[in-house]
Amino acid sequence: MHPPLTLHRHPMCAEIIELFQKCHNDHPYGKFFGECTDLKIKLDKCFRLEKAIKRKANFEESKKLKERLQAYRKETAGTENVM
């Protein structure tokens, strides 16, 4: 099973998606008997790589946000004791 094969959501895998869809169109019955399996394996690997890259970017972004939040808390902690 794979996510919806929309090209705008998976720009890294667009070429493989197009080849996979073409294979399914060219082999309407063969797709059930392994005709497009090699492309499916490539597509799965591409999706995993794409997900890993997005996960790393999100993690880096969350680290930056966490650092900003901690700096803000330190800054506001000093002003609360003034009153």
pLDDT digits 0-9 by tens, 44-61: 999 999 999 999 999 999
Band of pLDDT at residue 80, cut at 50, 70 and 90 = low
Q: Where are the domains of the chain?
A: 11-80
- Is this model's pTM higher than 0.85 or not? no
pLDDT at position 5 is 81
SS3 labels along the chain: CCCCCCCCCCHHHHHHHHHHHHHHHHCCCHHHHCCCHHHHHHHHHHHHHHHHHHHHHHHHHHHHHHHHHHHHHHHHHHHHCCC
